[in-house]
Amino acid sequence: MGKKDKNPVIQPATDKPTSEQAAPEYSPIADKSKRKCRDIFCLLLFTAFWGLCFAICIYHKVWDNSAHAKLMLEPHDRLRRRCGHDHADQQDMLAADFSKVVTDSKDFSNFCDLAKQINSLTVNCGLFSTIGNTKEELIAARQFFKQVSEVTSNSDKALYMVGFKTNSGKHCIKDILKSPLVATACNPPNDMEYVCDSDFEAYYDAAIDKVNSLPPTGGHLAAYLTFNQFLKADQYEHLSDTLPAKYRFVLNFCTAIPKGTTLTDRADFSTDTVPATFGIKSCSQIMFAGQFKEVSTLVGNFAENFVSQITDQYAAMCIGLAACLLFMIIYFIFLRFFVGLLIWITIIGALGGLAVLAAYLLYQGKKVKDQNQVSLDYFGYVDILLSKYQKYYEGFGWTIVAIDVVCLIVVLIFFKTIRIATAVIKQAMSAIGKVPVIFIFPIFTLIFVIAHLFWSMMAAYMFYLTGTYDASMNAYNFETKTRDAEGLVVYTWDYWGSTKFAVLVFGCIWGAFFFYALLEFNISMMVVQWYFNRERTRKSLKGSMKRSVLYGLKSLGTLAVTSFITSFFFFIRLVFEYVLKRMERANKVGNSKVVKAAIWVTRCCLACIQKIVEWFNRNIQVYAAISGDGYCKSMKGAVKLLMAKIFANLFAKGLSTFFLFIGKVFATAVGATVCGAIIYAKTKQIMFAPTIFTLVGSFFLSYYVIEIVKLVIDTIYFCFLYEETYMMREREGGLKPYAPGDLAKLL
């Protein structure tokens, strides 16, 4: 015999049978013991990560790199030289790169003779007479070109400070064009067809002195350079004739520019606007220059007219946006009461439409068959063309019949899911009316996101400027360039620097997704409190916003994990695109269709994976909002709910997304139509500017509202799954379902 309990529990007396006793009330969100700070370790790691980001910025003093940003705007010529600066001020160690000039090894010896005379170098040019035969000769060549690149060809190098860009590259020219430097100031005379580097004059004069066995006198080119470093076509041809074949490589200092198309001043070159705002003079060629003036005038007039119309018709635009908002409210009310009718009319209409189309095609096939039979009976042959038509009609007809049957089977299989989706959409519209504050949350989140992106992107960009400058691409990278004992350029990847940069970029992404996850959690928490509330009145929901914020702060660790996972997959996509761009610049990506298809498939797969991860993380956050659990338990519970009915979940998601998309399209169209109609009624004119502006504004307004509504629908549907699965024991114990309206009947 067992021992008697020393402290027996005395049950209160009741006249009701046990089966009729009221079940104890239970709500997953009312249990304050579960509302604790979760995933604290993850939150500490999140905080430590941001401490690391700040430490990187402070240690490297990234705020001192603003001058490097200006360097990317300064012109660099095609020989990698920084315009207006001597060798000591060059940021690219490979400046000057004479490989663009001396393209044949046979010219090395002759180039050496000229460079030796110009720069007073002590070098044995005889080593280059048989260049390429021995290792010593190659080493000597590298050392020679390194030596040449480190000397200044002209004492007035600072004069060559204007960048002049053609299709063949950029040249540093003297600042003697029209002043002040405005849109037309970059244009040389109309008959100039060549522009030359600043070294051209010195090397040409040295070559003529060599040909004529004269001492270094110079001045031979001055008579031909009538306008800065520009040459006419006949001048260029004359200079080519005066140079012997062995010195003709000197002409590689010049590149061709297209001749002007008019007899008056040319207008196909213009100042670069962004550098000009910082006092940097740079000129670039304008594509389709002949039509540029007319196009620019048209664009200017259009822009002026566009702004004028918007300022004059702002009232109509505001009414159009209000009409867009009003339509969405009416549409949501319509969904609240008639979504079931709308869904079934759509389904029946789609199935009926497919059936009618199939019947029509099969009927046409039968007509063609009968016609062909008449031809066979009375004329003794079959019309081949009619036989093909018969096959097409019957083939398409039976295919549509098969599709219609499959769709009907899907509807029958997901009949209950359709009812659930219908009830969820109905209750979502009711929830929006009870907790309209959910439309205010994103505004504050947007402020935080903008502030975060501003400082984090600026910090990452400033750290990027600590890398090594490459003038050929006008970009920074984390490859350091050095020369070994044999003169070869050795590229060394800075793993620490690139890792720190990756950390800052990832921090930028992670922070943005973290704030978005916090927004989703707070909205879901508001909806969860509405769902697990018996009364569902505004009075009973008083304080729900405060609790949502409080519970969100306690779940920051969980949100840090979900946002980290989403950011990780987004970062992989970013790295893939970066590597792909680098390979394309280096011409390491093939142009075959197989390679392009592989790249497209990889992009598609990465994008799909990210969307799937975002979908799972959103539901994990909803589960955490309901249960108050940490990430691991929430993930386990959410995956169990999602995977148990994965096809039903996807079907319900697709159904709600479809009808919300229809609402978004119509709301956008209504806003633009109302604005255009009001303007036409007032002015009897069609004004595109305010209508287009209202169309864009209506789209963003409807997108903003619809995305919140989608989150509300997803949350209510997940609450229903949670109650159906994890609260079955409570319901069996007599607990009244929390599911509102028709949802309670579907448990």
**For 605-629, how does the pLDDT look when each residue is reduced to its tens digit (9 = 90+)?**
999 999 999 989 999 999 999 988 8
- Of 640, 612, 605, 635, nearest to 622 by C-alpha is 635
- Of 456, 442, 596, 573, nearest to 512 by C-alpha is 456
**For 332-377, how does the pLDDT look when each residue is reduced to its tens digit (9 = 90+)?**
999 889 988 999 999 999 999 999 999 999 999 888 888 888 877 7
pLDDT at 564 over 90: yes
- Of 51, 645, 698, nearest to 317 by C-alpha is 698
pLDDT at 472 over 90: no
pLDDT, position 90: 84
∠ Cα 647 653 658 (to 5°): 125
pLDDT, position 263: 59
Would you tell me how many other CB atoms lie within 10 Å of the CB of residue 588?
9
Tell me how far apart the alpha carbons of residues 169 and 164 are, in angstroms, rounded to a whole number.
8
pLDDT at 295 over 70: no
Tell me what the mean pLDDT of segment 269-279 comes to: 81
**For 400-419, how does the pLDDT look when each residue is reduced to its tens digit (9 = 90+)?**
999 999 999 999 988 888 88
pLDDT, position 636: 92
Greater confidence (474 vs 228) lies with: 474
pLDDT at 233 over 80: yes
- Which tokens in the block code for residue 363? 């009927």
Percent with pLDDT over 70 in the chain:
88
pLDDT at 11 over 50: no
Tell me what the mean pLDDT of segment 133-150 comes to: 79
- At residue 463, φ and ψ (nearest 5 deg) are -70, -35
Say which residues have a Cβ less than 8 Å from residue 481's Cβ, sequence separation at least 6: 93, 94, 468, 489, 490, 491, 492
pLDDT, position 163: 87
The model carries a pTM of 0.79
Helix (H) or strand (E) holding 32: none
Q: Between helices 415-434 and 646-683, what is the axis angle to 10°?
A: 50
pLDDT at 49 over 90: yes
| CA trace torsion 681, 684, 688, 691 (10° rounding) | 0
Confidence of residue 124 (pLDDT cuts 50, 70, 90): confident
pLDDT, position 586: 64
Tell me what the mean pLDDT of segment 174-185 comes to: 54
Tell me what the mean pLDDT of segment 152-179 comes to: 71
Handedness of CA 295, 300, 301, 307 (dihedral sign): positive
**For 476-486, how does the pLDDT look when each residue is reduced to its tens digit (9 = 90+)?**
888 888 888 87
**For 643-659, how does the pLDDT look when each residue is reduced to its tens digit (9 = 90+)?**
887 887 888 888 888 98
Asked if 530 and 435 count as a contact pair (C-beta separation under 8 A), the reply is yes
Handedness of CA 349, 350, 353, 359 (dihedral sign): negative
**For 66-111, how does the pLDDT look when each residue is reduced to its tens digit (9 = 90+)?**
878 888 888 888 888 888 887 778 888 888 888 888 888 778 888 8
Mean pLDDT of the chain: 83
Tell me what the mean pLDDT of segment 163-167 comes to: 84
pLDDT, position 6: 42
Q: Which of 116-125, 331-340, 465-474 has the lowest mean pLDDT?
A: 116-125
Tell me how far apart the alpha carbons of residues 375 and 392 are, in angstroms, rounded to a whole number.
19
The total number of residues shown for the chain amounts to 747
In 5-162, alpha helices (H): 40-59, 66-71, 108-119, 135-149
**Category of 261 on φ-ψ map: left (φ > 0), alpha (ψ -120 to 50) or beta:** alpha
| CA distances in angstroms from 305 to 299, 319, 327, 692, 693, listed in the order given | 10, 21, 30, 13, 13
- Which tokens in the block code for residue 202? 């010195």
Percent with pLDDT over 90 in the chain:
29
Tell me how far apart the alpha carbons of residues 661 and 688 are, in angstroms, rounded to a whole number.
25
Task: Kindly write down the DSSP assignment for every residue of 501-537, as one continuous string.
Answer: HHHHHHHHHHHHHHHHHHHHHHHHHHHHHHHT-SS--
Say which residues have a Cβ less than 8 Å from residue 529's Cβ, sequence separation at least 6: 29, 541, 544, 547, 548
pLDDT, position 130: 60
Tell me what the mean pLDDT of segment 493-505 comes to: 91
pLDDT at 24 over 70: no
Confidence of residue 512 (pLDDT cuts 50, 70, 90): very high
pLDDT, position 155: 44
Q: Which of 244-258, 273-287, 342-356, 622-636 has the lowest mean pLDDT?
A: 273-287
- Which tokens in the block code for residue 271? 């100042």
pLDDT at 175 over 80: no
- At residue 305, φ and ψ (nearest 5 deg) are -65, -35
- Which tokens in the block code for residue 712? 């509300």
Q: Between helices 384-413 and 314-379, what is the axis angle to 10°?
A: 130
pLDDT, position 605: 93
pLDDT, position 180: 44
